[in-house]
Structure 1
Amino acid sequence: MSTTQNNSGNKTLDPIQDPISPYYLHPCDSQLLLVPIPFNGTGFNDWKILVTITLSSKNKLAFINAQIPQPNSSDPNFKAWERINSTIICWFMKVLDPQIARSVLYFLTAQEIWQNLEERFGITSGTQIYSLAQQIFDIDQGSDCLCTYFTKIKMLWDEFDTSNPLPTCNCTNCTCGINSKLLQMREEQRLILFLMKLNPAYKTIRGNILMQQPLPSISYAYRLIMQEEKHSALVSPINPTTDEVIGLVAVNKQKFYNTNTNIASQSQNITYRPPHYGTNNINTRKSNLFCNYCKK
């Protein structure tokens, strides 16, 4: 393992060999896949979050956000930087649609590729905000379970927050607390919207939540409604639907008809047979009469 010596005489690891250095690459990193699904031009915000999480876990996020700019060719870390830059570009090419990857192929640094993608796909338009707001307004629980319904609306909220974030106060030593007030107001509005779109079966628990002062958080309300859903599934009887009842009646009628038909057909095939029926029985009876007459 190579080492270097600083001005104080202490030996330090080469950045390429130091695991805590951003210039360090593990042998397995060459096969790294930043995200499981390639970016095809839609859902950039979700893709961006996944990429930044992966790069941060590999201690390489500083190479795309300009925290580690390209050094001069005479810098001792130039070769290491060049190696990391090429590696990140290769990671990008693996998780981009072939057409998008071709459009950024001639950029020399990973930072340039990242900036270009943000400029092309990360800028939010009024049309996107309108579309997200319309989807949030139109969503309701319907036939979905509570977990599925909450997941759908939560995904839309997250995407809307990324596209249209709340303003923040940047005053030094701010005492007005405007940031927390805005967050609280948005939380209450979304709680009411979430409760409005629930099925009528939850009207009782919905009323209990709305009567609380102050209003609970969305997470707490979700937990209460989930408990109510589980409780209702345990205590409610299993009531057959109208179609199931009609089908059951039809089956029973068919069984009753088939049973009576079989009994009637069997009755027609049964013929009464009196005692001594047939020729042999008649002859036997006559012989018995003669024998009795002779005995007299």
Structure 2
Amino acid sequence: MAGNETSLVAGTDAPSHPPQKTDKIEINSPFFLGPQDRPGDFITLARFTGENYDDWAGEIETALQARRKFGFLDGTITSPEPPCTQADWLTIHAMLISWIMNTITPEVKITLSKYKDAKRLWDTLRERFALVNGPQIQQLKKALANCRQTKTMIVATYYGKLTALWEELHTHEPLITCSCCTRCTAGRDHELRRQKDMLHQFLMGLYVEYYGRLRSTILTQDPLPSLNRAYQLTIQDERARMASEVPDDTAEAVGFAVRPCGRGQGRFERPDKSHLSCTHCKKTGHEVAQCFEKIGYPDWWGDRAKNDAGRGKSLAPGGRGRGGAAAFVLMQQPLNLLEHHLPKCLLQINGKHLQVFSVI
């Protein structure tokens, strides 16, 4: 009998316990709050001042969607779901209210009551500050119609300006949503029409001298390409055009015009040197300090007769005596030489003083 009891005890399997159901909220649940979530956190750098509701609300929505919490504000999540308890529900709303209030300036914060429901706070702010701004919508549409690419503007810059205007306009005019049935395509059709309008706005604003032919090619396609495809084709056309351009490396001519100093323009006023006399060569018209026979003949004298030196004859090209033209252009002079003469200088050619008066 004892043996049977022993064998019965030995042969009896240990009773199996069913796995206990955990009450832990999963990390990917919108009801989850981790140790990194604190009431004093600033979830966005934007600050609500009472005048920038649209921009501020967009920043808050983005920050809360990243934390899976925006459903508590837009009405998607209306009650706690197990394993979330009522205490967890109150904790989540308190956290959301703290995050929102941290981004509001004190001037606006003092006008708000104490809230325990985050959705009520969010709805109050929208009703009070989200004003319908018809003139602003009209201004945005006018800016889109006037947005044009200039000759020196690259396509990326032009497209960036359009994108900023589109995003701001879409904030005031959101897409149509319909939940009448699962097969309703009203929202999708509205989105496709908006994309087509954006495509036409982009093509109309392109610089016509560069992209007129490309624009005609795109518009003749059936069906029309998407906006991203049209942008890609335009960028490719821009790069091909820029690669085919030959840079102009021709050196610019550097020169200046000269005119004589004197009363008349275009005339030499020869100084009277008849009273001068050279003690070295015994000739008149110059002094010994300017005597070429004593100090040496310059290189530009050339093969002229040496006895012509000092007689006061005009050696300036294009002019013989009074009334001769006095315009010289020095082309492609080294810049280091011009630095010694600009902005004013005197040039002396056989006693004639010429003054630089402008740079070409």
TM over 0.5: yes
Rg bigger for which structure? 2
Question: 1:203-251, CA deviations, whole angstroms, 9 ceiling, x for partnerless residues?
Answer: 222222122222211111001101112222222122489xx958x6679
Partner of 2:15: none
In the alignment, the residues of structure 2 paired with residue 259 and residue 19 of structure 1 have an alpha-carbon distance, to the nearest angstrom, of: 75
Alignment partner for residue 153 of structure 1, among 162, 168, 184?
162
1:211 pairs, out of 211, 220, 243, with: 220
Aligned partner (choices 199, 224, 227) of residue 191 of structure 1: 199
The reply to whether residue 78 of structure 1 matches residue 86 of structure 2 is yes
Task: Give structure 1 stretches of 5+ with no counterpart.
Answer: 1-7, 269-296
Instruction: Quote the residue 2:231 is aligned against.
Output: 222
3-state SS of the aligned residue for 1:133? helix
Structure 1: how far apart are the matches of 2:205 and 2:104?
37
> Hey, what's the Cα distance between the residues in 1 that align with 2:50 and 2:187?
33
- Give unpaired runs (5+ residues) of structure 2: 1-17, 257-330, 342-346, 352-360
Task: Determine the C-alpha separation between the residues in 1 that align with 2:73 and 2:244.
Answer: 56
- TM-score with structure 1 length normalisation? 0.67
Q: Deviations over 1:41-73 (max 9, x none)?
A: 4554443333223223323223323455578xx
The answer (yes or no) to whether the contact 2:149–2:206 under 8 Å persists in 1 is yes
**8 Å contact from structure 1 (residues 169, 178) kept in 2:** yes
Tell me the CA shift for residue 112 of structure 1: 1.8
What percent of counterpart residues are identical? 27
- What residue is the counterpart of 1:13 in the other structure? 23
Which residue identity does 2:142 align to in structure 1? Q
Contact 2:177 2:187 in 1 (8 A): yes
- Paired residue for 1:28? 36
Give the Cα–Cα distance (whole angstroms) in 1 for the partners of residues 29 and 189 of structure 2: 41
- Equivalent residues in 2 for 1:116-127, closer than 5 Å: 116-127=124-135
Contact 2:44–2:103 under 8 Å retained in 1? yes
Residue 63 (structure 2) aligns with: 54
Change (3 A) 1:194 1:101: same
Shift of 1:89: 1.7
| 1:239–1:106 distance in 2 versus 1, CA, 3 Å | farther
Q: Give the whole-Å Cα distance in 1 for the aligned partners of 2:340 and 2:67.
A: 79
Cα 1:259/1:45, change in 2 over 3 Å:
closer
Q: 1:87 to 1:213 in 2, by over 3 A?
A: same
Q: Which amino acid aligns with 2:219?
A: L
The 3 A distance-change label for structure 1 pair 43 and 220 is farther
Q: 2:243 aligns to what?
A: 234
Cα distance in 1 for partners of 2:75, 2:182 equals 29
Letter in 2 for 1:62: G
Report the Cα offset of residue 257 of structure 1.
6.4
Corresponding pairs, count = 249
Assess if the C-alpha contact under 8 Å between 1:136 and 1:156 holds in 2. Answer: yes
Which of 78, 99, 103 pairs up with 2:107? 99
Matched, 1:108 2:100: no
More helix by share: 1
Q: 1:178 to 1:69 in 2, by over 3 A?
A: closer
Structure 1 residues 125-154: Cα deviation after superposition (integer angstroms, max 9, x where no partner): 322321221221222223542122212212
Instruction: Give the residue type in structure 2 aligned to 1:235.
Output: S
TM-aligned CA distance change 1:42 to 1:230, over 3 Å:
farther
Q: Report SS of the residue matched to 1:13.
A: coil
For residue 252 of structure 1, report the CA deviation from its aligned partner. Answer: 4.1
In structure 1, distance between residues paired with 2:93 and 2:203: 49
The equivalent of 1:134 in structure 2 is: 142
In the alignment, the residues of structure 2 paired with residue 78 and residue 181 of structure 1 have an alpha-carbon distance, to the nearest angstrom, of 42
Say whether the 8 Å CA contact 1:45–1:159 is kept in structure 2: no
Corresponding position of 2:47: 38
Q: Cα offset for 1:166?
A: 4.9
Is the Cα–Cα contact under 8 Å of residues 195 and 227 in structure 2 kept in the other structure? yes
SS in structure 1 opposite 2:36? helix
Residues 93 and 146 (structure 1 numbering): CA distance in 2 closer, same or farther, change over 3 Å?
A: same
What is the letter of the counterpart of residue 79 of structure 1?
A
